[in-house]
Chains A and B, each alone.
Chain A
Amino acid sequence: MKTVFSKTPTLKECSTHYCPGCGHGIAHRLLAEVIDELDIRDKTIGIAPVGCAVLAYEYLDIDMIEVAHGRAPAVATGMKRTNPDKVIFSYQGDGDLAAIGTAEIMHAAHRGERITVIFINNAIFGMTGGQMAPTTMLGQVTATSPEGRQADGTGYPMQISEMLSIMPGVCYVERCAISGIAAIRNTKRAIKHAVELQMTNQPGLSLVEILSPCPTYWRMKPANAMKWIEDEMVKVFPLGKIKDAAAKK
């Protein structure tokens, strides 16, 4: 019989701890597929964040490290500088990257570290029970914004990708979504491009922001969560390539 589809080897044979309809599992699979398609399993080191994806190494069969909340870009710096031939990526949520870890991501970008950042934006702190994140939408109800997020006093959803894109140390930023088949395929293309830029030693940091559903703390059915990304989140977090320095040349 002809095999038409099989699980990509870098994705481990196990069930995940993620909630039904969560975007993390899909993002992991895309990453694993990219690693296998580029045949870089034996030269890749991944960095797991503090957040729902802290156990990413249970699902991705590559060398991985788990680091303190928000510090992944600093850890990645230490790894890449001493191992320029390896592919180093950090996998970070919005609490990790956009709240506690803003200094680390800004300065890794500022220095032009040749690392790849997978930035999962689900507009909430998942692991700790659905608290407001810097990326939480205005009006969004969370454990710490019970009346819905108000700009006055908590600010507006933080557009990290746009902020990073103006830095000369950043070579590629694209915002994608896990909200449907086409969007997911597009996300995989972006991840692959970002990793390829690192592999070809392009100067600068590459980052793919992924709008990702958290049905549990959005209090939605999985299908509705994906629809909310397409109907609401993209208004504040528009999809598409924000910067691709290499393509311009």
Chain B
Amino acid sequence: MCGNEALAEAAIRAGLDAYFGYPITPQNEITAYLAKRMPEEGRVFVQSESELAAINMVFGAAATGKRTMTSSSSPGVSLMQEGLSYLAGAELPSVVVNVMRGGPGLGNIAPAQADYFQSTRGGGHGDYRTIVLAPSTVQEIVDSTGLAFDLADMYRMTVLILIDGILGQMMEPIVMKDAPPRKDLPAKDWALTGARGRNQNIVRSLWLGEGVLEQLNEHLKQKYAEITEKETRCYCHQIEDAEIILVSYGVCARVVRSAVDKARQNGIKAGWIRPFTLWPFPSKTIAEAAKPDVPFLVVEMSMGQMLEDVQLSLMGKAPTCLLGRAGGGVPTVEQVLKKIEQTLDKTNNSTLKT
């Protein structure tokens, strides 16, 4: 079972009621898997006419209180941005998977992390956020999927699962468990179910009255602050004594882990931080690790997108540099090692100069 299929099965185990999707490489295993499995489970699978339609089908199913998901890859996710904005405005829970590929434009179908900005900044219009989970192993893909549905229901918002073509195709041993909805989730009393014995429910994102929309924006701001407080997750390794700290996520983090181990063997005290939630970003952890003479090396499969979040977290309290590959290029352990050495050289030199 590859990463994409594991994700699909995990979604079923998490109580996915309805999946809507449109073919695009490199995520087609998700759609194909669910085309077979959802009907077996007596649940809904629809191949939509476009990503635009898929996300709006998600919008409809979510509004009736169902657990629903769509998946796509970069160009398709661009088409979904309209729907993501409406989902945020209407505060509907949904899970959206982006198996990223190279861009811009049609780019290519090779693995990339080029949609970091789109995912973490909100690629659609308006003032909103989506939770972004970035697993780095197939087991973590499985675990993230159940978590994504719970977080979506908990906070009534979209949760993005961000992986890439490598993780999507990767096969690793996994433990697959049923992940039924968490017990403490709020009741979906806002859902459209037919107004039986109650007043009508309305799901909307249009607020024309003076000041009304600003109240919603204020409410969203508070919700996002609560999520930042409670749901930020990252993993750290050997950062206490580190003379260089590497920051990476997803598949890059696997390369970085090996490179850091090798560096330690070579006598370089390297450590790493791996954000698991890209939004909310683990700014606090990064800021707390900052020392003026310890550089942060960001390794990403894009040309300096997560780098900006690291810099924002550090507020100039530590130097930063980038090892960015793109368009299908994947950093190798050797490249990372070399960059570590170069960076330390440079930092030492500049320290000497001042």
Contacts and interface: CB of A to CB of B under 8 A. Distances in A.
A43 B194 CA distance: 4
Interface string A91-114: 000000000000110110011000
B58 A66 contact: no
B301 interface: no
Contacts of A74: 48, 52-54, 56-57, 59-60
Contacts of A81: 18, 44, 46, 57, 61
Interface string A56-70: 010001111111100
B64 A104 contact: no
27 contacts: A42-B194, A42-B197, A57-B204, A62-B200, A63-B200, A66-B202, A66-B206, A67-B59, A67-B86, A68-B59, A71-B52, A74-B48, A74-B53, A74-B56, A74-B60, A75-B56, A75-B60, A77-B20, A78-B57, A79-B60, A82-B17, A82-B18, A82-B64, A103-B53, A104-B52, A104-B56, A107-B48
A61 B44 CA distance: 29
Contacts of B90: 65-66
Contacts of A106: 49
Given A78-B20, A82-B44, A71 B53 contact: yes
B196 interface: yes
B195 interface: yes
Interface string B17-48: 11010000000000000000000000010101
Q: Which of B90, B196, B197, B203 has the most CB of A within 10 A?
A: B203
Contacts of B202: 57, 63-66
B168 interface: no
B192 A65 contact: yes
A46 to B, nearest CB: 9
**B interface: dominant SS:** mixed
Given A65-B203, A74-B53, A75-B57, A43 B44 contact: no
Contacts of A63: 192-195, 200-202
A79 B191 CA distance: 11
A21 to B, nearest CB: 23
A44 interface: yes
B64 A83 contact: yes
B120 interface: no
A177 interface: no
A41 B61 CA distance: 19
Interface in B43-101: 44, 46, 48-50, 52-54, 56-64, 66, 68, 82-83, 86, 90
Interface string B185-218: 0000000111111001111111000000000000
Contacts of A61: 195, 200
Contact of B58 (A45, A65, A78, A103): A78
A211 interface: no
**A interface: dominant SS:** helix
Interface residues of A, number: 34
A54 B205 CA distance: 11
Interface of A: 41-45, 47, 54-55, 57, 61-68, 71, 74-79, 81-83, 86, 103-104, 106-107, 110-111
Given A62-B200, A64-B192, A81-B44, 9 more contacts: A64-B200, A66-B204, A74-B48, A74-B54, A74-B60, A77-B60, A78-B18, A110-B49, A111-B46
A249 B154 CA distance: 50
B168 to A, nearest CB: 25
Contact of B53 (A42, A54, A104): A104
A82 B17 CA distance: 7
Contacts of B17: 82
Nearest to B45: A81
Contacts of B46: 77-78, 81, 111
Given A42-B195, A81-B46, A67 B61 contact: no
A45 B192 contact: yes
Given A42-B195, A42-B196, A43-B196, A54 B56 contact: no
Contact of B195 (A41, A76, A110, A111): A41
B159 to A, nearest CB: 18
A78 B204 contact: no
Contact of A62 (B195, B197, B205): B195
A78 B59 contact: yes
B353 to A, nearest CB: 56
A228 B192 CA distance: 39
Q: Which of A55, A83, A106 has the most CB of B within 10 A?
A: A83
Given A74-B60, A78-B61, A103 B44 contact: no
Q: Which of A67, A74, A107 has the most CB of B within 10 A?
A: A74
A224 B196 CA distance: 42
A107 to B, nearest CB: 4
A68 B68 CA distance: 18
B204 A65 contact: yes
Contacts of A103: 49-50, 52-53
A170 to B, nearest CB: 16
A111 B20 CA distance: 14
